[in-house]
Amino acid sequence: MKRKSEALTKRFRDITQRIDDAKRKMGRVMQTAAFSLAEVQYATGDNIGYQVQESVLKARFQIKAKQENVSGVYLPTFESRINEDINDFKLTGLGRGGQQVQRAKMVYTKAVEALVELASLQTAFIILDEVIKVTNRRVNAIEHVIIPRTENTIHYINSELDELDREEFYRLKKVQEKKQEAVAAAEAEEREAKQAKEAKEGDGHAVSTNVQLSESTIAKEVENLAIQAEGGDGDVLKETEDDVIF
């Protein structure tokens, strides 16, 4: 849109310069045409206009309209064309002033061509002026309203996405911490269970050892008693007969 505005502005300046040149040229041509018409009227009299209207049947000077595309803007242009096959004005002024009449015809032909060119430039000037105003308003609206609003929206969306990323990262971190705590608790329980099992196995081994020791002690005492009985002719066994039970 901005490039379009720049292209239209460039063409607008070019047309402005051409309009200035066309108006200067138009002033000189119309001045010459006015003097030429004065010479014709002086040579032929005041009835030259009536003679021209009576002799001319078809238009010799023709205008063709077309359109020119400038950055999507269609500008009407007018082109003048002279049909050489039509010359109903050739016998005018044969009585007197023929040279002045031909000169006036040539000068006014140039004047009409300058008018057509000036009309084409003026029309393009007016159209471009309106289009440039509308385009500049759109460019200003885009630069100062739409683009800042869009940038603010993009900034807000990015900030929300960043916040969601931070929340997701924090959530994943907390989940990982919970998992690590659960794994540590499971390992601690497993170690406690293993230690309890080992302690229980150690207590059973101690009880069996004590039982073995008591049995061996009883066996030794019985053996001592037997030895004493053999040495004392069985009196010991007899004295303790009521107390020993086998």
pLDDT of residue 157: 93
For the entire predicted model, the pTM comes to 0.54
pLDDT of residue 242: 46
* Domains of the chain as residue ranges with CATH: 2-152 (1.10.287.3240)
* Amino acid identity, position 2: K
For 228, the 3-state DSSP assignment is: helix
Distances (CA, A) of 103 to 2, 97, 107, 193, 232: 50, 10, 6, 129, 187
User: In a 10 Å sphere around its CB, with 0-12 CB exposed, 13-18 middle and 19+ buried, how is residue 25 labelled?
Assistant: middle
Q: What is the dihedral of CA 151, 155, 161, 162, to 10 degrees?
A: 150
* Amino acid identity, position 36: S
* Amino acid identity, position 114: A
Q: Using an 8 Å Cβ cutoff, are 78 and 65 in contact?
A: yes
Q: Using an 8 Å Cβ cutoff, are 66 and 77 in contact?
A: yes
Q: Using an 8 Å Cβ cutoff, are 9 and 133 in contact?
A: no
Query: In 10 A of CB 36, how many CB atoms?
Result: 20
Could you read off the pLDDT tens digit of each residue along the chain, which spans 246 residues?
777 777 778 888 888 888 888 888 888 888 888 888 787 777 766 666 666 666 667 777 778 888 888 777 888 888 887 777 666 555 555 555 567 777 877 888 888 888 888 888 888 888 888 888 888 888 888 888 888 999 999 999 999 999 998 888 888 888 888 888 888 888 888 888 888 777 777 665 554 555 555 566 666 666 676 666 665 544 444 444 444 443
Beta-ladder partners of 61? 82
Q: Secondary structure of 66-108 in the HEC alphabet?
A: EEEEECCEEEEEEEEEECCCCCCCCCCCCCCCHHHHHHHHHHH
